[in-house]
Chain A
Amino acid sequence: MEMLARLENTTLSIWLRESGIAFFTSLTLHSIAMAFVIGVNFAIAFRLVRIVPEFELKPFLKFYNLYWLSVVVIFLSGCALLLAYPAKALTNPIFYIKFSLLTIGLIISRWLQNQMQIIKNNEFSRDKYFWVAMISVFIWIGTITTGRFLAYTNSVLLASRFF
């Protein structure tokens, strides 16, 4: 807790917390990038389980540059939000659940990206990829839910108040 208090007293942390624009920009970029990343995953998952009519998956790879750029934005804006209120996130178990789900979701999406590179479109059988797609959908729903619940479940806002 003392370390967290020291962290939130750094100039950068104070600036992120108290300058309205820095925190708001981080929060908004986090939302936009998250919506894009989750949206792409939903689109691919729905194609794999045939909720949407079949379409060629390989050309979809061209969106992955933007996809991974969005992941970088999620990471950087997430770091900024974490640095603004380190104790709020790091003392909340929901944060670790969100982080784990996000990591698993990204590993699955990277695996699916590799599959798209090596497998022909007609070999994407529904049976083979059904569970991967469904797990991916549930993991992303879990990421959204834990992300929202983070704002409501913190027991500590600032560690400095203990010192």
Chain B
Amino acid sequence: MIDYLSAFSSSTGIYTIMNTPWGWPIVESMHFLGLSLLIGTVGIFDLRLLGIGQGIAYSDLHKLVKIGVIGYAINVTTGVMFLTTAPDQYIYNPAFQTKILFMFIAGLNMVWFYQTTSAQVKKTAALDNVTNRAKMIGGISLLCWIIVIVCGRLITYFRPPYHWCWFC
């Protein structure tokens, strides 16, 4: 897996970009920009589902989610750049593994929202509360993204031995 990721990084030019003097911090800045777009849109929508900001129409806030999707795309792209440039620093890292797990849970939670609750939430009046299920989805989403940020910060703290991960 490490070899495959390294080969991908070299063949696409990612490795070269990331190893320029300012490559890594510029991509890190873009990663945080994507995160801010995500938190400022999806995070606010989640808070609204939980009952904060009563009076703001759910459908209005939902219009911002498109920006969150752009933020997510920036994060995935820059995340792949980090991962493929230094795969051994990420693949074996428990903080990275936890981060990916919670991104996956957030994704499943989003699918659950759009399959079961989205239409109902958009129709809910601005002064009314959404259903408990919608609140739970909002809470799970917010918690997942906070854990993703915490794990993102933790990645730089862990330099685990390469044999840490039993399935890598």
B52 at the interface (CB under 8 A from A): yes
Selecting from A4-12, A37-45, A128-136, the interface stretch reads A37-45
Question: Could you tell me which residues of chain A, from 116 to 149, have a CB within 8 Å of some CB in chain B?
Answer: 140-141, 144-145, 147-149
Given that A28-B153, A39-B36, A52-B66 are known contacts, is A62 also in contact with B54, CB under 8 Å in the complex? yes
Q: Are A40 and B29 in contact (CB under 8 A)?
A: no
Given that A53-B63, A59-B55, A59-B56 are known contacts, is A40 also in contact with B150, CB under 8 Å in the complex? no
Q: Are B52 and A36 in contact (CB under 8 A)?
A: no
For chain B, which range describes its interface: under 10, 10 to 19, 20 to 34, or 35 or more residues? 35 or more
Given that A59-B56, A62-B54, A148-B25 are known contacts, is A20 also in contact with B157, CB under 8 Å in the complex? yes
Judged by DSSP, the binding face of A is helix
B160 at the interface (CB under 8 A from A): no
* CA–CA, A147 and B29, complex, Å: 8
B53 at the interface (CB under 8 A from A): yes
Residues of A with C-beta under 8 A to B126: 59
B128 at the interface (CB under 8 A from A): no
Give min CB distance, A79 to chain B, whole Å: 18
Q: Are A144 and B36 in contact (CB under 8 A)?
A: yes
A112 at the interface (CB under 8 A from B): no
Residues of B with C-beta under 8 A to A41: 40
* CA–CA, A20 and B54, complex, Å: 39
Q: Are A144 and B29 in contact (CB under 8 A)?
A: yes
A96 at the interface (CB under 8 A from B): no
Interface size on A, residues (CB 8 A): 35
Q: Are A60 and B153 in contact (CB under 8 A)?
A: no
* CA–CA, A40 and B38, complex, Å: 10
Question: Could you tell me which residues of chain B, from 74 to 94, have a CB within 8 Å of some CB in chain A?
Answer: none
B108 at the interface (CB under 8 A from A): no
| Residue of A with least CB distance to B35 | A35
Where the two chains meet, the residues of B that have a C-beta atom closer than 8 Å to any C-beta of A are 24-26, 28-29, 32-33, 35-41, 43-44, 47, 52-57, 60-61, 63-64, 66-67, 126, 146, 149-150, 152-154, 157
Where the two chains meet, the residues of A that have a C-beta atom closer than 8 Å to any C-beta of B are 20, 24, 27-28, 31-32, 34-36, 38-43, 46, 51-53, 55-56, 59-60, 62-63, 66, 140-141, 144-145, 147-149, 151-152
